[in-house]
């Protein structure tokens, strides 16, 4: 079993719709969770972090965390073509350890 699993996609949604990206992780010691966005040919950029169970909202983005289910998700409301990218899920085992990245979900928002 992979440490971090994401649906590789591609996931296509129409402009204005809600995009839902899912991630499961195997290590119950994971404490913090990060979502990175990576455009083709570019390096990842941090878009969301979540540390406790529940929802965290930041603009059009909402991260959801359920540690009991070892599940974290990212919702993008009012999706825009500029949101088209690969989204990487990265749980953290603490500052002394490197992040483990999922393989990413490729999102395409259709105009």
Give the CA distances from residue 45 to residues 38, 49, 67, 68, 90, in Å, rounded to whole numbers and listed in that order: 6, 12, 24, 27, 12
Judged by CB under 8 A, the residue of 65, 88, 107, 109 near another protein is 88
User: Is 103 near another protein (CB under 8 A)?
Assistant: yes
22 — phi, psi (to 5°)? -115, 155
User: Is 108 near another protein (CB under 8 A)?
Assistant: no
User: Is 111 near another protein (CB under 8 A)?
Assistant: no
Q: Are 61 and 46 in contact (CB under 8 A)?
A: no
Report the interface residues with another protein, using CB under 8 A: 31-32, 34, 36, 41-46, 49, 88, 90, 92, 94-95, 98-99, 101-104
């Amino acid at each position: 079993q992979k440490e971090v699993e994401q649906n590789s996609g591609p996931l296509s949604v129409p402009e204005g719709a809600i995009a839902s990206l899912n991630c499961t992780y195997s290590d119950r010691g994971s404490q913090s969770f990060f979502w990175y966005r990576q455009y083709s040919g570019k390096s990842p950029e941090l878009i969301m972090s979540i540390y406790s169970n529940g929802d965290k909202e930041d603009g059009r983005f909402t991260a959801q965390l359920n540690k009991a289910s070892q599940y974290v998700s990212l919702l993008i409301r009012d999706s825009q073509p500029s949101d088209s990218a690969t989204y990487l899920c990265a749980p953290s085992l603490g500052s002394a350890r490197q992040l483990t990245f999922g393989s990413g979900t490729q999102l395409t928002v259709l105009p």
